Structures are given as structure tokens and as C-alpha cells.
Amino acid sequence: MADSIPPNALIGDRYALRGVIGEGAMGVVHEAADPEGRPVAVKVLVRTDAEGLARFRREIEVCARIEHPNVVPVLDHGVDEAIGVPYFVMPLLRGGDLSVHMKRTGAMPVEVTAPLVVQACRGVAAAHQAGVIHRDIKPSNLILEETDGQVTLLVADFGLATAEGLGGKLTRSGALLGTPHYISPEQSTDPKAVDARADVWSLGMVLFQMLAGAPAFANAGVFMSFLVQKKGVPPLQDVAPWIDGRIARVVHAALIRAIDARWPDVGELLLGLEMAVGFDVARRKLSLGDIVGVGEATRGLVAPRAEIPQHWDELLRG
């Protein structure tokens, strides 16, 4: 079984394992070496019931549809005959996921947040163009990698994704799919019926947390209260008063409960963010050393309050 793989096992007769680097509900990720000795990451299924096996295979199929610099690619996949479970191979990324960096920095300045979220939007948009809805966008699924002094953000973990043209329904009726800090109201009630705007919401929640230094919802109980009592998302400027009102409005246009009033797609969210922060800031190239927290001088600022939009097209009218 995958949970008892020897530390130096050879997976698929090709990939020499070197140690566990990550674990989740579905699989264990190992650092490994390919036949040429190059470092890779190998994800091996641990949940071997019928649904777990079907989800793992779907994740492989979904990832194979998407080719984009901001999406973690699948380099190879197969079934290891010795242990009888599937695996797939990804690049070994050493930059850490976004949640790790946020624990260190707390709230991030706009000139760091915007370029990273722009890259996340590009990766998610590529998935949407391939007919894939991620359904689990959160900081731990956004991986940073530095090459030649420049950071690339890659969208990872499509284990909960849904896609056009894939047979079978893997979500049990009434099951909560995703993480309460980041899932949209509609996903919490009917995860099988969501469209691309659910991922827009999740990106908005990530953007909120990066700017504020904490999630909009402190825990699952607060999220459930939000759902049941039909409350609004707390104003970003309440917890991060230094944030420019134009940026706050972009964030809240992604976090409108009414689906048709929310940014209609990731491309519009990206464009709104670029307009709010300026093209040069949004497209700024970062190194890992640039990823820092908001300074004390900035925290002492209070920007003019902005009215929270009720519909995304309000931002087009100024």
C-alpha cells in the first residue's frame, strides 16, 4: 500500500524516492529522482477506496488538459505494479506554497500581492479555458518557484476539480467540498453546480487574506454564520485601513454573494486589479526576497473609505 512504501522504493520502475515532502487526504508527495537523476515530485495515492481512486485518476486527466506556465504540470503518470496504486510525477518546486510565506509575512503590501494574484488569475483562467473548475483555490494550493531570481506562482492540486466532458459524479449529495475560508456560498450548498465564478470568489478570498494578513472568516463557524444569516463579507478596510479604496472595491466585487453580480470571470478580476494598482505594479517581477510583510509606516495609514460594490459593473463606472 502507498502508506507503507519503503523510503528508497522505485516507483513505476523509474522514480527513486528520497523522502516525503507533503501529505494530504488523497495522496502522499515524495521527493524523487527520475531515471536521469533529476529531482521530481511523485504523488502516490493513499486513499484506495473506489471514490479515492476515481478522484485521483480524474486529477491526472484534468491536469493533462491544462498547459500553462502558471499551472503545475503532470510530467508522467502510471500505476506501480508492486503496490498496485496510481501515481503521477510533477516538477519538484522548492519555493514553498503561499500559505507558508503568509505565515512569515502577515499582511503583504500591494506591490507584492498584486503580481502574485495576477499570476494566479492567469493559471486559473487557463484551467477555465480548458473547461476545468478548480473548486479548491487556497494559499496552500498556490506554489511559488524562483528561477533565475524571478518568482513564478503555479496553481496546484486539482483533486477536487470538475471538468466538462468527464463522466461520473464524485461528490456525494450534501457533502461540503472545499475549505470554508475560501469556498463560495453556492459551492457550500451545491458543489456539483458551480461554475467559474466560484473560483473567482476563492481568488477574492485569497486576495483579501494577502492584503489583510488574516482570512475574512476566522473559522468554519464564522463561515457558517455568514451562510445562514446571509451576512456580507467583512469590509477589507476595517481590518486593513491602509488599503486604497479602489483595491478594496476590486476585492469585494469578487466576494458578492449574488453570483450574477460578482466579477463574471477571472479575466475581469485580473483586469480590475490591474486598473486599480496600475499596470507596472501588477506586472512587477518578484524574487523570493521581495516577498515581505507590510511595514509599520504603511500600517499607520488610513485610506479614504470606499463603498462596497453591489455589482461588479459599478467598477466600470468609476
What CATH number has the domain bearing residue 66?
A: 3.30.200.20
Per the structure, the complete domain to which residue 10 belongs is given by 2-91
Q: Are residues 19 and 103 in the same domain?
A: no
Q: Are residues 174 and 257 in the same domain?
A: yes
Q: Are residues 290 and 175 in the same domain?
A: yes
Q: Are residues 67 and 121 in the same domain?
A: no
Cell 513505476 belongs to 12
Among 75, 91, 107, give the residue marking a domain's end: 91
Q: Which of 152, 121, 155 is nearest to 267 (CA)?
A: 121
Render each residue's pLDDT in the chain as its tens digit; 318 residues: 555 677 788 999 999 999 998 887 678 899 999 999 999 999 998 777 787 788 888 888 888 889 999 999 999 999 998 888 889 999 999 999 999 999 999 999 999 999 999 999 999 999 999 999 999 999 999 999 999 999 999 999 898 898 887 655 555 544 556 788 899 999 988 888 899 999 999 999 999 999 999 999 877 777 777 776 677 899 999 999 999 999 999 999 999 999 999 999 999 999 999 999 999 999 999 999 999 999 999 999 999 999 999 999 998 765
Q: Are residues 82 and 188 in the same domain?
A: no
Count of domains for the chain: 2
Distance of CA 311 to the CA centre of its chain: 24
Q: Are residues 123 and 251 in the same domain?
A: yes
Active site residues: 136
Among 91, 108, 143, give the residue marking a domain's end: 91
Among 61, 91, 121, give the residue marking a domain's end: 91
Q: Are residues 121 and 52 in the same domain?
A: no
Domain of residue 102, CATH code: 1.10.510.10
